[in-house]
Chain A
């Protein structure tokens, strides 16, 4: 087993770690906040408050 074989295993392991971090946080977030809060984003909210879009 040379350095490249070790790097192959390391890459698999790192990819799994990143995947695990994402999935864990995803589940924790979905369980911690209501859908109403998570999906409350509306386009143009900032513009609605700061710009009139008129000349």
Chain B
């Protein structure tokens, strides 16, 4: 036992439920923005363009805006609920308070799988990018594994050492990656004298009709997948009621701009048949612009976007795992906080080998599909969650940092668009969808019949909330 009095300076040490070491409240709205946009922006650099392959350029634009609508609903709903349920775990904690333990357990797993799989996919991409640079410099046969492992270990170490440094790092590299997209647009736009865009020659009708538009919806999610991750910072922001809605809503606005600009530049430079299967479309667009400076900038942007995404994923997956451990939904050992760095260090460490196994041993498309499907299940929970939240704690009953407008229209729109996205995913990955739902049903049975007996039912609710209406 250390002699160091860790309770001497911090407010946590005096808390009514006995917290001696808690997560550190040091983040501001910019960090929340960086967490949300940082996880997502890699989707602009790669992945979204498979929507073009499914239904052509216009289908990708329709998917971009409908998915944008879906995620705007997600951002608004999340902003309201999380600015009230300001605790680590994000949607898991929301589900615990508002719906019930079984839903909370499932949502917690959706979060951990979505982020850990995305982290693995990002690490695979780092290896691929470094290999691409090696090939361009004349070196064939690079071993990608050390770079994949290094990316995961470095970011895990950063996350272990503290949340402020982690998300400040994300803020810097995300800002550079976003600026690179803006610069590419400005440099190629005819408004500023560029003459490389060929929209009139390259744009076609819908090659696969409206079914292609529907199929494109699956990859339309890539433009925004992960913005809901801002909620995981809830216990570490200085002012949850202000920073979470501000950062989340600024984040979705940033992504709507980045997604539309990305689509505009890429479809003006590449025919849809090529763009629909390109590995790194924004980097390819920069190469086709004929500018070496742009090529280097977008190459750096691609790498930074990938690292920011992996960094945010480690942060979010570990907070969800930590929160579940703290509530005994998982072994309570995971609910420990580092007394010096104030991070959920055991959860961070535990998820490292899992990310490494998937990054080194699983194919990229399967890893990403598992991530997307887990995210989709999570979005389906959100409309149910917010409707119950408004019913149990109406606007006059509890103070909110943000009240989303037009309730329940965003919830209904979100639920409808999730239905469309399920059908789109089923068209391309029906087997994986069924397998994953079977997996979640199995673990739900395990939780219901075994694990729930270890949950301390009263101790998991320590928020000073009034009783829900009707109870």
Contact = CB atoms under 8 A, between A and B. Distances in A.
Interface of A: 2, 4, 8-9, 11-12, 14-15, 18-19, 21-23, 25-26, 29, 32-49, 51-55
Contacts of B21: 37-38, 40-41
Contact of A51 (B19, B235, B352, B399): B399
B326 A32 contact: no
B326 A42 contact: yes
B423 to A, nearest CB: 37
Q: Which 9 pairs of residues, A with B, have the shortest CB-CB distance?
A: A11-B146, A45-B15, A43-B87, A44-B463, A18-B153, A38-B336, A42-B17, A40-B20, A15-B150
A18 to B, nearest CB: 4
25 contacts: A8-B142, A9-B146, A11-B146, A12-B149, A18-B154, A22-B157, A26-B349, A33-B1, A33-B2, A37-B6, A37-B20, A38-B337, A40-B22, A41-B12, A41-B335, A41-B337, A42-B17, A42-B326, A46-B22, A47-B463, A48-B462, A49-B16, A53-B465, A53-B466, A54-B399
Contacts of B89: 43
Contact of B462 (A32, A42, A54): A42
Contact of A15 (B11, B146, B333, B466): B146
Contacts of A44: 86-87, 462-464
Nearest to B16: A48
Interface string B243-261: 0000000000000000000
Contacts of A53: 84, 398-399, 463-466
B242 interface: no
B9 interface: no
- Chain A binding surface SS class: helix
Interface in B9-37: 11-12, 14-23, 25
A36 B160 CA distance: 20
A25 B18 contact: no
Nearest to B336: A38
B157 A42 contact: no
A53 B197 CA distance: 54
Interface string B324-365: 001000001101111110000110010010000000000000
B147 interface: yes
Contacts of B326: 39, 41-43
Nearest to B327: A43
Contact of A42 (B15, B152, B332, B465): B15
B72 interface: no
Contacts of A45: 12, 15-17, 19, 22, 462
Contacts of A18: 150, 153-154, 156-157
A38 B339 contact: yes
Contacts of A47: 86, 463-464
Nearest to B13: A40
B339 A29 contact: yes
A8 B6 CA distance: 41
B18 A46 contact: no
Nearest to A34: B1
A22 B23 contact: no
B157 A48 contact: no
B273 interface: no
B104 to A, nearest CB: 12
B143 A8 contact: yes
B160 A22 contact: yes
B275 to A, nearest CB: 30
B338 A29 contact: yes
B435 interface: no
